[in-house]
Every structure is written in structure tokens, then in C-alpha cells.
Structure 1
């Protein structure tokens, strides 16, 4: 008996009988089976029993058409077509949007989405994505989500140093793996701001003539894209003291600053020094520090011409130290300040208040001592001489008078020491 159709699972084990044809003949017959499509994963014996001869899952064919033929050497009989339906066949997933090329901008945050690999699976199985990278270093730059196929960045990329990457993607559904697809990822350049060689600078200089170059070390910026840098400066209401060379960035004192004329120990100039590349991107540098003298504080900025313009800053401080005053330098943690202890205009003994007070006190003390000395001289000399002229001196009085002179000489010696 022949059936026009038969259905069984693709998970049927090998050598399992899936169909049996009924053949009636008095002579021995030879039975043959023809499959469409071929090759045929089934066998048939001369009794008409059909068994599984190969893994039906691996074949991945869900529909066959059979034709049976029986031959007894005299006659050949061919059956009608039999439809064979294979169920539970797993079809490998298919990647639907590769091969392709993706581009990502440099300096994007870690985790930025680059590409979404899509697939199809007729069985609705849960996919697992995997990828291999060329060159191998790209594996540290990109990641593919194992469950969703989203390709994202693992680091902040740099156009100037990171290569183009190729990744080969597969999808596995638990039983079969898709054909691979290739994704090429390129990093796109972004115009970046110039970078100052240092975040801050400190420079101290004495009062210098107009046109003196200030040898501030390291005032220089570079552009990540290698563009030429041009420098400019602006000091607002204090313009005129400093200029900058547009090519080298060298700072020059264009107007002499005299601390004595200004009657200050510290003067701050708020300036902006700009370094710009060919596209206008800019970056600023700050000039800061603490030292004695006039302080020129420059906020140095380097700017490029991107849209919008980008910039960076560093700090520099140019300090003018007086060459005509004696100064004391504070520590770097304090504000720039100086205590003047002398000047070029006043260098004599009476040039300070302390000297004048000392001189007056010395004069008063000297006058008092002179008066005392005069009184003692008069008492022991002049008055006794006057008395001797009016009276006679007894013999023992002569001895007393001699003792008085000795006392006078001792007192005079003591006051001389005091005056000395």
C-alpha cells in the first residue's frame, strides 16, 4: 500500500524505519528509491522498508519527493510520487547586513555604538554573536554584544594612532552557525585643539628695557593634526607691555615697567596668549607664579578654526623684579610681594625715620651729660677757689681738698666712659 505523503522529525535516529511500501509479487523483486532533491539520505530494502541513512539535521532539507521502483526481471513497476515532510529541522541563522563598512569619530566616549549586526533565524532560536579581529589589537578597541550584535567602542579612539579594523562576525543558534560576515571599521578624524607643552609656567625678570625678550621656557603648543601654530596676545586695559612672536611664541617686554615710578611692589596684567592652528582651533595657557616685583599674569589660549572652535589653557606668570630696591622673595605658596629696605634716591645716614630718632636721642643724652660734667667741675674747682680766696685753709683742710680733686678726677673718668 502506498501513501501519497509521510511526515517525521529531522531528529529521527539513523536506521530508523520511516516508511514501508507493500509489494505483491510471486517472484523476488528488487526495490529502488529515488529522492528529489538528491543526494538521498534514505535507504530502501527489497521488502519496501525505507530507513534513515544520514543525519537529517545536517542536510537541512524539510521536503523530499520519493519514487519507488520494483523489478522482478520481467516487469518493472514504478510507484506514484510520495511527499516526505521533515519536521524540526534547524536552519542555520543568516546574517542579513554584512559585508559592510562602518565609521566612528575619534574621541567618542567608551561604549559608543558603531554598528548593529542583524540576522534572521527561521527556527526562532536564541542567537549568540562572536567576532574575530584583524589586526589582533582591534580586539581591545571594539566589542560585539553576544546577545544583540551591537558593535561598540572599548576605548576612546584616536585617528592619528588607531588603525582601520576588520571584524569577521558569526551567529550561532545553539545547533548551527551562520555563514560569516565581515565588518570594516574606520576611525574618522576630528579637528582637535592645540596642546600646550606645560599646564603652567613661572618666569621672574628684573626691570628691563623696552624690547627685551623674556626667556620663558616651554611656551609652545602643538597641534594633534600637525597643523602650523600661530600665537597672539591681548592684555585688555594693560595692553602695550607685552607682545608675542606669532611664529615662535616668544614673549617680549615692549614697554619698560618701573616699580619706583608706579609706587608698587606688585602689578598684575591680565593677558590672553592664543595659539591657533590652520583651522582656527585654539588653546590657552596661563602664566602663574609667586615672586617679588611686578607680576604679569597671562592666560594663554590656543584656539583652532573648527566649528565650534575648541581651545585649551595653561597658566604662566611673568614677574618683574626691581633692580634698584632690596627685596625679599616669599615662598611659592604666597602671593607675590616685596618689602623694600632701601632705594637708589635715599642712601645717607638720615634717609630713614629710625636714623633720625636715634640721632636726636644721642644729642639729648650728650647735652645732659655735658651739663652734669660742667656742674661737677664748677663744684670742685671754681667754687673752692673762690672760697680759698676769702678764708685760710687749715693744715688738715689741705688733705681734704686733695681728696676732693681725686674724687673729681674719678667722676670725670666715669663720664668719659659713658660718653665714649
Structure 2
């Protein structure tokens, strides 16, 4: 029988079998990368092994996904990891609960990055501006990297502001249409970057053909121009001209400061003519509006332009005053020199605020107040004068001292009853027999009237008041003749009769005269007028009036004298009796006062004591 004897195997200590070792890390690494997987052996039964590393920037340790092993990693987008640095990472693994531990070194060496390469630049290309719109690819950059790094492209233009951009694919596209551009070309500086190394610039020269050039205004003006108010609409202020090397249609436009200037001025888009667009009234403009700054722009079909400014000063002009109407009328009555006719209220106006207007007329019959326009008669205007008309037509002129306007004033003059009929005498006396036949004319008592006989005011009618005669015996013809109207045989012989004649015109103005009829005591006396004899004193009623007044005064005087005598005689006797025996001197003194005219008849003498 064969007998075997086994000797127990000695346990191996915990060991990291994958270390020590080294790892080459490219300096352009940007992704989180596993550098080393830790492998260990000699694990004591029942132990659990954990591994860790010392602290090194940009590196860390974690369990490798899908296994139970630990791994050493570099962070994503590490910073400061540059060639030729080396990093020593100490990895320590520990068994628990046995407490066995082991450490090993992982050396990380940084390797230099290989720059990318631009393959097709420098280069030159041409681009037609008339056919190249927005979003058009004009060039594609070709670049490579031996390490297969992600490449990033960048472009910088000279001059700046180019209408190009580059995409991740390396394609360079237009950002706007090149039509109308004024730039003839760009140098595009091309760069490529693999996140570690930026390569460039490499120049891509872009020549733009058929470039549009801006038009040029050839007759710009730096001095102001003047425009008078009230010039005709469409008056040319200035005409601009422009040239364009590309030819084509040019269009003119303008802006105005203040904006109200666009009301008064405009520019013709095809010809460049700046002209007045509406009537300009200087007086209605504010101070700011009397100077207009016009900015003129000329554009070509490619929207390129040139501009200039034009300062226009609006000038005030003297403007004629004006009547609001062509004819005016006034109605008045005939009157004396200087009498007011009225104010026609001409209300003429002058656009010039500083102007003073005056009124005048060449009419000889009418005077016009130069300031107010009020009318008055130059001389007496009497409709009762033969040939005087009832209408006056006067030309009226308003003037500001230089310019004038005219109108017509028509004055209608009314004929008024401005004259009272008047008898030639205050009284008349006629003598006639009571046998005078009916129709016999005794004489004339005709009255006169200053009003024309052709008017109603100059027509005189007569009336007789014969109440004292007791009958209608006499009459007055329309011509003023007094005649026997009815038989007067009933009038007494030797009697005198008085009646009143009234002369009245068509305007009811009147005058009166007294008529005395004397019937002689004999019947042989023929009728006689007041021209046959003179009046007696008492036949004139005016003598009777003053004679009566004189008699009244005389009677009052006699009465006063009688009163004085009676009053004086009573007091004198009374004092003579009472003071006869005493105070003689006193009485004499008082009597002396009387004699000297100092006596007062209403004074009562002192009673005796």
C-alpha cells in the first residue's frame, strides 16, 4: 500500500501584479480616459480588497465598468497636463479583515500633441457679387490630424465685417447677398484647432467681381440758399446731379428738419430738383420753421447712396393789404359838413404784422378817416339843392405805404324834412267889403319852404282857423292866396275879425300867422291888402303882449308906494303922540334915518318905556 504525505502550501502575500508600469498620455486628451486596470493576487481567504490612489490633479480611481477591478483614469478636459511632464500615481490595495496591504507605482508620461494640418489653404478664389446670394458656399477648408482629434475651424477677415462664416465641416458660406457690396475683396485668415494646438493663419484670398460702387453727388453746396414767401408752387430751389461708375438708375429722396419743411419743399426722385411744394406764408411760420435743413440722398439700384445737406432760409416779403369785400354800402341822411355818415367796417387786413394800413378816397363829397375808415361829409350835403343826387360812389384805397388794394363805397343819402315852412310875416291885415263876391282874392299869405317843391317835404298845404268868425268864409289856395270862399254879407260893417293861418309841409312841420279881416263901415270900400295902410299899434298882437306886461309892472309899483305911505303914516303919528314930552332927541334921530333913506318899513319901532 502506497502512502502519500502532503506538505501544506505556504500562502502567497497580497500583490499588485499589473504594476509597476508606465502609460503615455497625449497632451491633447480631452475625454475621460482609462489609463490602467489594477490586477492583484494573494488575497487571503475571507478578505475583501479595496484599492485607492494618492491625490494627483486631473487623475482619479474608480471600479472599471463591467468588472470588479479598479482603474486609474484621467479627468475629462484636464488642465495643466502638458508635455513633457510626468506624474507618479501610487496605487495601494488593502485586504480586510486581514489587513494585508500592498502599493505600486503607475507612471504617466505626457506625450507631445501632433498639430493638425490645413491641406488646401493658402488659396485664391473669385466670387461674382451679382450672382452670389446669402447662404452660398464659396470654399470648403480641408484639414487632417494624425491623432484623429476633433478639429475646429475659425476665420478672421481683413477688412473686418466680411459677409462670411465657417462651419464645423470647414465650409465657408456667405451670410448675406454680395449684390450691392462696395468691397472688392477680403483676405480670410483660416485657423484649425484640435483642442490642443491651433494652426494658422493660412490666407484664403477672396476677390469679389462686379462690385457696385456708390453714386456721388457732384454739386454739393455748403452755403445756404434763400426762398421768398409766396413764390409759385413748383419753383426750383436747387437741382442736384450725381454720377455712378456702374451706371444704372439713380433715385433721389430728402428728409426735412423741422419735419414741417416737407410741407413746403419736395424733391423730384428722378431729376434731383428741390422745389417748393406749397404756398409759403412767412407770417404763419414759427421762428424755427423759417430755416429748413434738407438732407438729400441719392441711391443706386444696389441701395448704395451718397448724401448732402441744403439749408434753405425763407425770406419775408411785403404783401399787399386786402379788403375782404369789393363793395360796401352806407345809408345816411343829408347833413352838414363834417357830419358822420357811418363806419363801413372795411376790415382790411395785411399779412405783414408790422405793417400799418391807411384808408383814403378821391371822392370830393366824402372824407374817410385814414385809421378807422369812418366816413363823413366833406361839405354840407343838401338834397334840396337842385342837381344833388341821392347816391355817392367813392373809390376806397387801403395802403401799407407801398402796396394797395381798392374797393367801392356807395353812400345812399336820404332827403329829410330839414326845413320848416315860413310865412313872410307874422300877421296879415286885409280890408274888404262884406259884399265881396265869392272867389274874390284878398291878397297873398304864401309861405316858403327850403325843401324842394318836387318832394313831399317841399309841398305846402294851408289851413284857416275861423272859429271866431262863426263860419267858413275864407280859404287859401295852394299857392297861398287868401280868397272869399263863401258869402260874407253876414259879417258886420265896421267890424274886425281875426283868424289863424297854418302852413304845413309834407313832413308835418308848420308855421302860423295871424290874419285880420276889416269890414269897413261903408260898402263902397273895395278889398285892400295890408299894403293899403299901416297897422295900428294894437293890431299887432306882439305890441299887446308887451303893453300888458308893462301895465302889470306899473300897477305893482303903485301898490308898493301906497303900502309904504300907509305904513309910515301910522307909525309916525304913534311916536309923535307917545314921545312928544320926552326923548325928543331920540325921535329926531329916528326921523333923520327915515329922511336919509335908512328907514326900514318892516321894522317895528321900539315901544315907549
TM-score, normalization by structure 1:
0.55
1:233 corresponding residue in structure 2: 361
1:298 corresponding residue in structure 2: 394
Q: Which has the higher helix share?
A: 1
1:221 to 338, 348, 353: 348
Write the distance in 2 (CA, Å) between the matches of 1:16 and 1:4: 18
1:370 corresponding residue in structure 2: none
CA contact (8 A) 2:213 2:304 kept: no
Write the distance in 2 (CA, Å) between the matches of 1:123 and 1:171: 14
> Unpaired segments of 5 or more residues in structure 1?
22-29, 71-75, 267-292, 326-337, 352-420
2:128 corresponding residue in structure 1: 9
1:322 to 415, 419, 423: 415
CA contact (8 A) 2:137 2:174 kept: no
1:62 corresponding residue in structure 2: 184
After TM superposition, give the deviation of residue 260 of structure 1 in Å.
3.1
CA pair 176-193 structure 1, distance change in 2 beyond 3 A: same
2:248 corresponding residue in structure 1: 125
1:288 corresponding residue in structure 2: none
Write the distance in 1 (CA, Å) between the matches of 2:279 and 2:135: 58
2:458 corresponding residue in structure 1: 344
The number of equivalent residue pairs is 303
Write the distance in 2 (CA, Å) between the matches of 1:299 and 1:123: 68
Write the distance in 1 (CA, Å) between the matches of 2:313 and 2:155: 56
List per-residue Cα deviations over 1:52-91 (Å, max 9, x = no partner).
Answer: 6555446521255789999xxxxx9999x99865321122
CA pair 339-178 structure 1, distance change in 2 beyond 3 A: farther
2:372 corresponding residue in structure 1: 248
CA pair 212-119 structure 1, distance change in 2 beyond 3 A: same
CA contact (8 A) 1:93 1:176 kept: no
CA contact (8 A) 1:203 1:317 kept: yes
CA pair 40-219 structure 1, distance change in 2 beyond 3 A: closer
Q: Which has the higher contact order (CA 8 A, sep 6+)?
A: 1
List per-residue Cα deviations over 1:152-175 (Å, max 9, x = no partner).
Answer: 223211111135244444333222
1:158 aligns with 2:278: no
SS of 2:282's equivalent?
Answer: coil
CA pair 314-67 structure 1, distance change in 2 beyond 3 A: same
Write the distance in 2 (CA, Å) between the matches of 1:233 and 1:14: 81
CA contact (8 A) 2:362 2:395 kept: no
1:189 corresponding residue in structure 2: 316
List per-residue Cα deviations over 1:362-382 (Å, max 9, x = no partner).
Answer: xxxxxxxxxxxxxxxxxxxxx
After TM superposition, give the deviation of residue 219 of structure 1 in Å.
3.2
Match runs of 1:312-391 below 5 Å: 312-324=405-417, 340-342=454-456, 344=458, 347=461, 350=478
Give the number of the structure whose alpha-carbon radius of gyration is greater: 2
CA contact (8 A) 1:95 1:178 kept: no
CA contact (8 A) 1:90 1:176 kept: no
CA contact (8 A) 2:344 2:373 kept: no
1:259 aligns with 2:378: no
TM-score, normalization by structure 2:
0.40
After TM superposition, give the deviation of residue 104 of structure 1 in Å.
2.0
After TM superposition, give the deviation of residue 181 of structure 1 in Å.
4.3
CA contact (8 A) 1:198 1:218 kept: no
1:87 aligns with 2:209: yes
CA contact (8 A) 1:106 1:190 kept: yes
Write the distance in 1 (CA, Å) between the matches of 2:327 and 2:256: 42
After TM superposition, give the deviation of residue 50 of structure 1 in Å.
10
SS of 2:232's equivalent?
Answer: coil
CA contact (8 A) 2:331 2:412 kept: yes
1:210 corresponding residue in structure 2: 337
CA contact (8 A) 2:254 2:295 kept: yes
After TM superposition, the structure 1 stretch with the greater mean CA deviation from structure 2, 172-181 or 156-165, is 172-181
SS of 2:397's equivalent?
Answer: strand
After TM superposition, give the deviation of residue 317 of structure 1 in Å.
1.0
Write the distance in 1 (CA, Å) between the matches of 2:336 and 2:135: 107
After TM superposition, give the deviation of residue 193 of structure 1 in Å.
1.0
SS of 1:103's equivalent?
Answer: strand
CA contact (8 A) 1:100 1:182 kept: no
After TM superposition, give the deviation of residue 316 of structure 1 in Å.
0.8
Write the distance in 1 (CA, Å) between the matches of 2:460 and 2:125: 124
SS of 1:320's equivalent?
Answer: strand
1:112 corresponding residue in structure 2: 235
Write the distance in 2 (CA, Å) between the matches of 1:40 and 1:166: 35
> Unpaired segments of 5 or more residues in structure 2?
1-119, 142-150, 193-198, 419-451, 463-476, 480-609
CA pair 172-340 structure 1, distance change in 2 beyond 3 A: farther
